[in-house]
Amino acid sequence: MKQLQQLAERVGILMNAEVELQAGECLVKRKRTINIVSHNKNFSCTLDHDISFKHVQENGDALNQAEIFLLPSELDSFINALHQYPIPLPTTYQHRVDTNPDIICVYLSSEEPPEDFARRLSTALNAIQQNSLV
């Protein structure tokens, strides 16, 4: 349990987020505020990303999952950052995208060390943040 706690703390630092352990699963608490423009109205909302890992194996791999909300204009930058990250995507990686006109939800799943997943995901989130500042 102590090793899981230490791993969770490292992932929290990498994701710049709080973490919580629940029954062998690490929940990463990361929020993001976005502005949605729809039908000439502007909405600001804060969203909770669902990010977690569980079933840590002896080799360090775990089942990593994330549900990330993006604006349609951010999707390409986010996916490109995931794919161009220096650590190759694992063979057990999947993502799918659900869209509506105003917001996109990207579901990610992989089996790899949680730190690798966290670094890649954090880099992708930083990429869209950097693009919004330009």
Angle between helix 75-84 and 114-133 (nearest 10)? 140
Asked if residue 1 has pLDDT above 70, the reply is no
Instruction: Tell me the C-alpha distance between 11 and 1, whole Å.
Output: 15
* Residue 121 CA from chain centroid, whole number: 5
Q: How confident is the model at residue 97 (pLDDT cuts 50, 70, 90)?
A: very high
Asked if residue 87 has pLDDT above 70, the reply is yes
The pLDDT, as a whole number, for residue 116 is: 96
Q: Share the mean pLDDT of the chain.
A: 91
Mean pLDDT is lowest, of 41-50, 62-71, 79-88, for 41-50
pLDDT 10s digits, 14-64: 999 999 999 889 999 999 888 888 778 888 889 889 999 999 999 999 999
The pLDDT, as a whole number, for residue 2 is: 81
The pLDDT, as a whole number, for residue 12 is: 95
The pLDDT, as a whole number, for residue 99 is: 87
Q: How confident is the model at residue 100 (pLDDT cuts 50, 70, 90)?
A: confident
Nearest to 108 by CA among 100, 132, 123: 123
pLDDT 10s digits, 8-25: 999 999 999 999 999 889
The single-letter DSSP state of residue 59 is: T
CB neighbours (10 Å) of residue 28? 25
Residue that is written with structure tokens 């909300």 in the block: 69
Instruction: Tell me the C-alpha distance between 31 and 126, whole Å.
Output: 13
Helix (H, G, I), strand (E, B) or coil at 133: helix
